[in-house]
Amino acid sequence: NAGVTQTPKFQVLKTGQSMTLQCAQDMNHEYMSWYRQDPGMGLRLIHYSVGAGITDQGEVPNGYNVSRSTTEDFPLRLLSAAPSQTSVYFCASRPGQGTYNEQFFGPGTRLTVL
Amino acid sequence: AQSVTQLDSQVPVFEEAPVELRCNYSSSVSVYLFWYVQYPNQGLQLLLKYLSGSTLVESINGFEAEFNKSQTSFHLRKPSVHISDTAEYFCAVTVSGSARQLTFGSGTQLTVLP
């Protein structure tokens, strides 16, 4: 199993540009989520999905869109990038909806918005 | 809502010395508690977790954490650290028996010095 994969690893955008961060998992996990990691703030939940076709907002959803058309894929879209979205983005998945289950994290995407 | 406080952002320690990384949580109901570790340029990995039962939980690489309900703490300890333990450590909490999401602390950077 490849686990959770993310592309790209690094990205530089100009303010106002749009892009999609890709996330895929091959473990047949129902639950997937996106976090952003900023210095001194830990990980903050952006959006999550409890299954194909079902998504919901996390703690910091503004400026981001998600969709979940398949169990495997959970892309994160930035519609109009802003410097405040400069961060490291992690995708994660876990089996089932129970929060007692371990979350498996991807390697991250480092995004810089100029 | 639950919250997590990691009191130390940076902990430098010499190799083979003991270490304690502190974590306090706030919740009015029963919780699940986790420690995740992030090695440089990688995603997070589960180190250990407390769900119920014995209040002392251990990882495979010598770390342990003790759930203390009266002090609302879940401190992480290791009696003798190695250079390879250098990483950032995140404490996380969620309410037990619910689908509520994980809340992460701000992280503690452990640096093991030779």
Phi–psi pair at B83, nearest 5 degrees:
-50, -40
Q: Which residues of A touch B102 (CB under 8 A)?
A: 45, 99, 103
Give yes or no for A72 touching B (CB within 8 A).
Answer: no
B98–A99 C-beta distance less than 8 A: yes
Using one digit for the tens of pLDDT, what is the confidence trace for A21-69? 999 999 999 999 999 999 888 899 999 999 999 999 998 999 999 999 9
Is the CB of residue A45 less than 8 Å from the CB of residue A33? yes
d(CA A40, CA B60) in angstroms, rounded, equals 28
Residue B101: the pLDDT is 79
Q: Which of B44, B51, B59, B103 is the best mutation test for A, with the most CBs of A within 10 A? A: B44
Query: How would residue B97 be classed by pLDDT, with cut points 50, 70 and 90?
Result: low
Chain A residue with minimum CA distance to B32: A100
Dist. CA A92–CA A43, nearest whole Å: 11
| Beta carbon pairs, A and B, within 8 Å | 58
Contact A49, A68 (CB under 8 A): yes
B57, exposed or middle or buried, with CB in 10 Å at 0-12, 13-18, 19+? buried
- Contact, A39 vs A114, CB < 8 A? no
Confidence of residue A87 (pLDDT cuts 50, 70, 90): very high
What is the DSSP code string of A14-65? -TT--EEEEEEESS--SEEEEEEEETTTEEEEEEEEEETTEEEE-S--TTEE
Contacts of B103 (CB under 8 A, 6+ apart): B1, B2, B3, B4, B92, B93, B94
